Chains A and B, each alone.
Chain A
Amino acid sequence: MSDSAAPSQSVAARPSLLELFRAFVVVSISGFGGALPWARRMIVDQRRWMTAEEFNEAFALSQFLPGPNVVNFSVVFGSRFGGAAGAAVALAGLMGPPLIIVTVLAFLYARFGDLEMLGRILAGITAAAVGLLIAVVVKMAAPLFRKRWDWAPLIAIAAFVGVAIMQWPLPLVFAVLAPISIALAWIRR
């Protein structure tokens, strides 16, 4: 057996439940502005629990599932290595520390939210955070809008208009657009 660390090489040892928990604690407390890049670094680059391809597939599944992506990912990843216990442990590791931190912040906000100084700081942070979100949208949109007369941009625009401009309920917009979009993806293939 060669000792080279080729990226396509199969994974290292299976993580124990404790290792799973600790890995997701680290991912969660380092993951400012989204935990995905940290999860990838930990799982693929550092621990080699998954290859880059395996990671991409597991993450694609997490994105396609409803609900928060990284939370889904912790469940998908945890269940692969430890069944239900693995899923629970990974989820607890991911959500535990931020829940404690954010509860303290929520308490402080309830107490001091009326302070003008705090309000001004948060207003500046919100403005920046919205900019960050716009950058994410543009990055996601770039590959989709490259093919000019494809159906995908039309679906994206319809979802945007329905929710942002018309302010229709999300379940309604989703119930109409998702089947159409999936049907178009089916036909086009």
Chain B
Amino acid sequence: MNENPLIPLFGYFALLSLFAVGGANAAIPEMHRIAVDVMHWMSDRQFADSFAIAQISPGPNVIIVTLIGYHVAGLAGAAVATVAMCGPTCVFAFLVARTWDHFKEARWRIAIQAGLVPVSLGLIGASAFVLARSADHNIYAALITAVTAVVAFTTRINPLWLFAVGGILGLSGWL
């Protein structure tokens, strides 16, 4: 690469973070679009792997940006991507938190809150779709996805067990 990749890495994630209403999972399709399709930082498979690693790691799911950053530019990339994704929104959250309570009953505040719920739902749904397209490349993978969805919806089982079953089935060579 002849240009410093840290600059687009910072720029894309800083911009992305400001539109990620609904959390890191809402931003997955855009991360995929940028990292795989636009910038060619990683393959579809590597992106799906990063998602899996972020899921089995403790802590917030946003940690996937650290993995993407590391893949692009090592430790510096990991640091830059994480700061870009969390920095601007943290400052924003800090500023809003100081004033938000004063507008508890304000109509515009209630409208903003209610209005953003369906948008973030659609975005998270899109994430599931984009990831399913990367991950479920055969019938067995799709079956694991479907069964996990049903089990997670109907029970309160710790997700780690579901990941363990998925990993073991994957290791057994079905996928």
Indicate whether B114 reaches chain A with its CB closer than 8 angstroms: yes
A33 touches B115 (CB 8 A): no
Residues of B within 8 A of A (CB): 15-25, 27, 29-30, 33, 45-46, 48-63, 66-67, 70-71, 75, 78, 82, 85-86, 88-90, 92-94, 96-98, 100, 107-108, 110-132, 134-136, 141-142, 144-153, 158-160, 162-163, 165-171, 173-175
Count of A-B contacts judged by CB separation below 8 Å: 370
Q: Do B58 and A170 touch across chains, with their CB atoms under 8 A apart?
A: no
26 examples of A-B residue contacts, CB within 8 angstroms: A32-B160, A63-B21, A65-B21, A65-B89, A67-B20, A68-B23, A68-B89, A70-B62, A75-B97, A95-B82, A95-B86, A97-B58, A99-B66, A106-B66, A123-B52, A124-B167, A125-B167, A129-B51, A131-B150, A132-B148, A132-B159, A159-B118, A160-B122, A160-B125, A170-B30, A171-B15
A84 to chain B, nearest CB (A): 7
C-alpha spacing A86/B141, complex, angstroms:
44
Knowing A65-B89, A125-B166, A170-B27, say if A94 contacts B59 (CB, 8 Å).
yes
**A75-B90, A127-B148 known; A120-B48 Cβ under 8 A:** no
Q: Does A7 contact B (CB under 8 A)?
A: no
Q: Which of A110-143 contact B (CB under 8 A)?
A: 110, 113, 117, 119-141
Chain A residues near B107 (CB-CB < 8 A): 186, 189
